[in-house]
Amino acid sequence: MNFIPHTKEHISKMLSVVGCSTLDELVSEFKPRLSELNLDEPLSEMDLVSYMTSISEKNSPMKYFAGGGSYDHYIPAVINHLVSRGEFLTSYTPYQPEASQGVLQVLYEFQSFICLLTGMDVSNASLYDGASALAEAALLSSAHTKRKGIFVDDGLNPNYLKVLQTYCDGTELSITNSIDENTACVISQTPDFFGNIKNPQGLIEKAHQNKALFINCISDATSLAIIKTPGEFGADIVVGEGQSFGIPKSFGGPYLGYIAVKEFLTKKLPGRIVGMTTDEKGNEGFVLTLQAREQFIRRERATSNITTNQTLLALTATIYLALLGKSGLQNVARASYHRAHILQEKLKKNSFELINTNPFYNEFLVKSPKPTEKIIADLMECNILGGIDLGDNKLLISCTEKNSLQDIDSYISMVST
């Protein structure tokens, strides 16, 4: 394929303006490679599509009863059409706001949606994913409190814990077992990795008594439609994964990290923030703001090193939330909740041991009467991913509005003895 518009005549004309006789001469200053370049012959578009399609067909999309940080919600058709518009797709960070009002307004709307959903005061314009959003929140807490201890409540997504641990090792913070005068933040996930909906009140009080910040992490973002907001509970920072809002599962990425804070932490936020302002004539418009926090101005004194964010996915989430509105998002959350509870009840009747003691959202843990490897393999025969095998015959199962009652019945028929 060829996306270079020059003819041979163009190239020779341009070379003569530059004062070179060949393209090789033009790059002669670059140190040449010392070994061969072993790449294949170029593929035409038709051959490329056929090659990549054949690889894609080695994957088996299924009916998913698995969550664990990625949820199989329905994506309204219109989203792809809007997100594919070249003006959004092929633009970049809005450094020239006058030529980027579209993306800037979208990000302002995104920030507004995140605040409405979480009950917080200020959101940034997105971070990479749920795990790195949590790590950035921990760094923010340390910068704010000048402390280095990170306390993590039980039930945090183990992948997030690993990423947090990696960031802590690299930035000289430590994950501790107690909440005390060295604690920068207390992290708790609700709904947690096992789906438990927890009341964070006690932990929030304990964090605040010790002058530490409370970070509320959220598993499936659709839960925000029916669960009391972290803002109302008194969280200082809310982070999570926005993939549930119209973003394909895509084997784990690109996803959408979000972070929202109480007003007193605004200037400590990492990443891009969009603000409304006016032009010289008083017309409203949008710009990137509080840029003095950021690496391209502040360099080693920046609040974070983050540059590129996930704007196109923030656009996706914004359109998703606009389309669904209040009742649509409630229906998605309620359906996810009900289907999970129906499946759990049926599994109980089939000798599965229920482990959740708290109320749960759309995800729950069971102990299986037979080896989970066998259950997963059997279900896969019927094109169902039955959950996440956590070892010790424990299975983490998740439902969304896409898991129909018939799907639940086929699930049960495969696992019943």
Partner 1 sequence: MKLIFNYNQANTKYTAQEKDVDLPDELKRESLPLCNVNEVQIIRHYTELSRKNYGIDTNFYPLGSCTMKYNPRVNEDIAKLPGFANIHPHTPASHAQGALEVIWELEEILKEITGMDAFSLQPAAGSQSELLGVMIAKKYFAEKNEPRTKIIIPDSAHGTNPATAAMCKFQTVTIPTDKRGNMDIDEFKKAIGKDVAVVMITNPNTLGLYEENLSEIKNIAKENGALMYCDGANMNALLGISKPADQGFDMMHLNLHKTFSTPHGGGGPGGGSLGVKSFLEDYLPVPRIKKENGKFIFDSKNEKTIGKLHSFYGNFGIIVRALAYIKSWGINIEKISKIAVLNANYLLCLLKEDFDVPYDRRCAHEFVISAKKFGEKSTINIAKRIIDYGFHAPTIYFPLIVKEALMIEPTETESKETLDEYAKVLKTIIKELKEEPELVKNAPYTTPGRLDEVKAARQLNLRWIPKES
* Between 157 and 210, CB nearer to partner 1: 157
* Between 211 and 285, CB nearer to partner 1: 285
Min separation Cβ 224 and partner 1, Å: 8
Cis peptide before 191 (omega within 30 of 0): yes
Q: Which range touches partner 1 (CB under 8 A), out of 175-183, 211-219, 294-302, 405-413? A: 294-302
Report which residue type is found at 268. Answer: K
CA-CA-CA-CA torsion sign (27, 31, 37, 43): negative
Size of the site for partner 1 (CB under 8 A): 191
Q: Is residue 372 involved in binding partner 1 (CB under 8 A)?
A: no
Residue 212 corresponds to which tokens in the numbers above? 């530490």
Residue 1 corresponds to which tokens in the numbers above? 């394929």
Q: Is residue 91 involved in binding partner 1 (CB under 8 A)?
A: yes
Q: Is residue 371 involved in binding partner 1 (CB under 8 A)?
A: no
Q: Is residue 12 involved in binding partner 1 (CB under 8 A)?
A: no
* Between 62 and 354, CB nearer to partner 1: 62
Min separation Cβ 282 and partner 1, Å: 10
CA distances from 186 to 130, 158, 259 (A): 17, 16, 16
Q: For partner 1, which residue of 276, 345, 348, 416 counts as binding (CB under 8 A)?
A: 276
Q: Which range touches partner 1 (CB under 8 A), out of 212-220, 320-328, 363-371, 408-416? A: 320-328
Q: How far apart are CA 138 and CA 394, in angstroms?
A: 30
Residue 184 corresponds to which tokens in the numbers above? 């920068």
* Between 134 and 210, CB nearer to partner 1: 134
CA-CA-CA-CA torsion sign (161, 164, 165, 166): positive
Min separation Cβ 258 and partner 1, Å: 13
Whose structure tokens read 């949820």?
71
Q: For partner 1, which residue of 176, 182, 229, 410 counts as binding (CB under 8 A)?
A: 229
* Between 53 and 178, CB nearer to partner 1: 53
Q: For partner 1, which residue of 137, 156, 163, 259 counts as binding (CB under 8 A)?
A: 163
Q: How far apart are CA 17 and CA 8, in angstroms?
A: 14
Q: Is residue 284 involved in binding partner 1 (CB under 8 A)?
A: yes
Q: For partner 1, which residue of 122, 152, 235, 375 counts as binding (CB under 8 A)?
A: 122
The side-by-side arrangement of strands in the sheet containing 257-261 is 122-123, 257-261, 237-241, 213-220, 183-189, 149-152, 174-176
Q: Is residue 298 involved in binding partner 1 (CB under 8 A)?
A: yes
Min separation Cβ 343 and partner 1, Å: 15
Radius of gyration of the chain (CA): 25
* Between 297 and 413, CB nearer to partner 1: 297
CA-CA-CA-CA torsion sign (363, 368, 372, 378): negative
Q: Is residue 245 involved in binding partner 1 (CB under 8 A)?
A: no
Q: How far apart are CA 279 and CA 287, in angstroms?
A: 10
- Burial string for 174-185 (b: 16+ CB within 10 Å, else e) reads eeeeebeebbbb
Q: Is residue 381 involved in binding partner 1 (CB under 8 A)?
A: no
Q: How many other CB atoms sit within 10 Å of the CB of residue 369?
A: 14
Min separation Cβ 354 and partner 1, Å: 16
Question: Which backbone phi and psi does 241 adopt, to 5 degrees?
Answer: -110, 125
Q: Is residue 392 involved in binding partner 1 (CB under 8 A)?
A: no
Q: Is residue 313 involved in binding partner 1 (CB under 8 A)?
A: yes
Residue 191 corresponds to which tokens in the numbers above? 């709904």
Binders of partner 1 among residues 130 to 159 (CB under 8 A) are: 130-132, 139, 157, 159
Q: Is residue 72 involved in binding partner 1 (CB under 8 A)?
A: yes
* Between 84 and 351, CB nearer to partner 1: 84
Q: Which range touches partner 1 (CB under 8 A), out of 84-92, 209-217, 364-372, 409-417? A: 84-92
* Between 252 and 409, CB nearer to partner 1: 252
Q: Is residue 249 involved in binding partner 1 (CB under 8 A)?
A: yes
Q: How far is C-alpha 119 from the chain's CA centre? A: 19
Kind and range of the H or E run holding 207: helix 201-209
Q: How far apart are CA 312 and CA 104, in angstroms?
A: 11
